[in-house]
Copies of this chain bind each other. A is one copy, B any other.
Amino acid sequence: MKTGQEYRDSLRNRNIKVYIKGQLLDSKDVIDHPFIKGHVNSAAMTYELAEDPQFEDLMTATSHLTGKKINRFTHIHQSVDDLVKKVKMLRMISLNTGTCYQRCVGLDAVNSIYSVTYEMDQKLGTNYHERLKKYLLRWQEEDLMVAGAMTDPKGDRSLRPSQQADPDLFVHVVKKDDKGIYIRGAKAHMTGMVNSHEMLIMPTSGYGEEDKDYAVCCALPVDAPGVIHIFGRQTNDDRKLEGEIDQGNARYGVVGGECLTILEDVFVPWENVFMCGEYPFSGMLVERFACYHRQNYGGCKGGVSDIVIGAAATVADMSGYGKATHIKDKLNEMIHLAETLYCCSIACSAEGKPTAAGNYYVDPLLANVGKHNVTKLIYDIDRLAQDVGGGILATLPSEADFRSPEVGKYVEKYMRGVASVPTEDRMRMIRLVEVMTGGVALVESMHGAGSPQAQKIMYSKLSGLESKKKAAMKIAGVDPSKYSK
Contacts and interface: CB of A to CB of B under 8 A. Distances in A.
Contacts of A246: 233
Interface in A130-174: 151, 153-159, 164-166, 168-169
Tally of this chain's copies: 4
Contacts of A452: 387
Nearest to A21: B400
A19 to B, nearest CB: 5
Interface in A341-400: 342-344, 346-351, 365-366, 369-370, 372-373, 375-376, 379, 383, 386-387, 389-398, 400
| Prevailing SS type, chain A contact patch | helix
Given A463-B335, A465-B309, A321 B157 contact: yes
A280 interface: no
Contact of A347 (B347, B418, B419, B483): B347
Interface residues on A, range: 35 or more
A251 interface: yes
Interface stretch (A55-63, A115-123, A473-481): A473-481
Given A238-B238, A319-B157, A386-B442, A258 B395 contact: yes
A83 to B, nearest CB: 10
A71 interface: no
A167 to B, nearest CB: 11
Given A157-B417, A373-B340, A472 B346 contact: no
B447 A396 contact: no
Contacts of A323: 158
Interface stretch (A1-9, A25-33, A281-289, A404-412): A404-412
Given A429-B476, A438-B439, 20 more contacts: A22-B406, A23-B404, A98-B475, A156-B419, A158-B320, A188-B395, A228-B407, A228-B410, A234-B394, A235-B439, A310-B465, A310-B468, A310-B472, A313-B472, A332-B459, A343-B344, A394-B444, A429-B478, A432-B476, A438-B440
When A and B form their complex, which 4 residue pairs have the shortest distance between CB atoms, in order from nearest? A310-B468, A310-B472, A391-B447, A238-B238
